[in-house]
Amino acid sequence: MEDFATVGEEEAGGRFYIPTTAMSPVQMSKEFLPSRGRYIRASYRLSLSIETNSANKNTELDIGPRTVLLRLWGDTWRKNNKIYLYSDADSETVRGYVSLEPFMLSWTGDDDMERVPDECQITLAIEYDPGKTLHRMSGHETIREAVKEADPDIGYRTALSETEITADYRGQIEGEGWNHRFPMDIEYAYPIDDRLLVLLQEDTEGVSNPDIACDSARNIVCFDSNGDVLWRAQPSTADDGDHTYYRYLWRYDDRLMTRTAAQSYVELDPETGSIIQTTPMYPD
């Protein structure tokens, strides 16, 4: 599972409460986060996987300035709807937790709880996104200065790990020998394998002289590593029959999930951008 998150507040025991799109909530000890992003309002991209072989109790911490890789021991408490995380299988100190809610698949009406054992190994990859963090503070000068104080090296551009692509959330992406400019700001820049998904933010101005046209109802665009457009998301329709726009996206295994401004969950085909299914958030 992969998702986006922003640090909300610091809780007891030096742990951060981190709201996400689909995995919410996540709580994590501050020292287990990227060293540049240990402050409130820092933005992350999270990847979570569960090893169901509970006999494997190896744990690992690989913590850097922008990325961390954590292999933690998980203890599932179904009555609390959480998997509590420990630095090793014998520890009694809780380092954080993840919610069981995503595995209930409320956004599709299915149930995948059977994949979550009572004890398990959790692998968490956390990538700090300085460009997205600073862009979210546009128009909030006092908060932006606090963010710059917490991370003096912060800027609007983020070099996306495992790619040769840099995202400027004001409305531009750049690869080796190419760049694209958008008529809207970038809300999410999401590398998947050798491709990049860009979700553009409705009612924003982007940059001057855009070279990529974008209809607000097709505001997810997929690029290959050469900067060529592979697809634009199929428009989703609201209850009144009008097209709406996409606001969030995340991935569950190989499934590409989105949520629209019309409060519907939409699964897209990651190869074509066409709609596979739509599920209302609030069924009648």
Q: What HEC string does the chain produce?
A: CEEEEECCEEEHHHEEEECECCCCCEEEEHHHCCHHHCCCCCEEEEEEEEECCCCCCCCEEEECCCEEEEEEEEEEEHHHCEEEEECCCCCCCEEEEEECHHHHCCCCCCCCHHHCCCEEEEEEEEEECHHHHHHHCCCCHHHHHHHHHHCCCCCCEEECCCCCCEEECCCEEEECCEEEECCCCEEEEEEECCEEEEEECCCCCCCCCCCCCCCHHHCEEEEECCCCEEEECCCEECCCCCEECEEEEEEECCEEEEEECCCEEEEECCCCCCEEEEEECCCC
The answer to whether position 27 is within a domain reads yes
The answer to whether position 219 is within a domain reads yes
Which of residues 128, 148, 181 is at a domain's end? 128
- Claim to verify: residue 173 and residue 266 sit in the same structural domain: yes
- Claim to verify: residue 196 and residue 118 sit in the same structural domain: no
- Claim to verify: residue 91 and residue 201 sit in the same structural domain: no
Q: Please tell me the predicted confidence (pLDDT) of residue 7.
A: 92
* Cα atoms in the Cβ-side hemisphere of radius 13 Å centred on 183: 9
At residue 21, φ and ψ (nearest 5 deg) are -75, -50
- Claim to verify: residue 119 and residue 178 sit in the same structural domain: no
- What one-letter code names the amino acid at 120? C
- Claim to verify: residue 123 and residue 160 sit in the same structural domain: no
Query: Greatest CA separation found in the chain?
Result: 58
Q: Please tell me the predicted confidence (pLDDT) of residue 57.
A: 67
- Claim to verify: residue 108 and residue 218 sit in the same structural domain: no
Q: Please tell me the predicted confidence (pLDDT) of residue 23.
A: 63
The answer to whether position 151 is within a domain reads no
- The tally of domains found in the chain comes to 2
CATH number at residue 191: 2.40.10.480
- Claim to verify: residue 114 and residue 211 sit in the same structural domain: no
At residue 182, φ and ψ (nearest 5 deg) are -115, 155
Sorted by sequence, the CB contacts under 8 Å of residue 35 that are 6+ apart come out as 63, 64, 65
The answer to whether position 149 is within a domain reads no
- Claim to verify: residue 188 and residue 225 sit in the same structural domain: yes
pLDDT in tens, the chain (284 residues): 899 999 988 887 789 999 998 766 889 999 999 999 999 999 999 999 888 765 566 678 899 999 999 999 989 898 888 999 998 878 888 899 998 888 877 777 777 777 788 888 889 999 999 999 999 887 788 888 999 999 999 999 999 987 889 999 999 999 999 999 999 999 999 998 889 999 999 989 999 999 998 888 999 999 999 999 999 999 998 877 788 999 999 998 889 999 998 888 999 999 999 999 998 877 66
pTM, two decimals, is: 0.90
96: nearest Cα among 10, 14, 13, 29: 29
Domain of residue 186: give its range.
Answer: 156-280
Please tell me the distance from the alpha carbon of residue 284 to that of residue 274, in angstroms, as a whole number.
Answer: 25
Please tell me the distance from the alpha carbon of residue 34 to that of residue 123, in angstroms, as a whole number.
Answer: 15
Sorted by sequence, the CB contacts under 8 Å of residue 261 that are 6+ apart come out as 202, 238, 244, 245, 246, 247
Q: Please tell me the predicted confidence (pLDDT) of residue 116.
A: 82
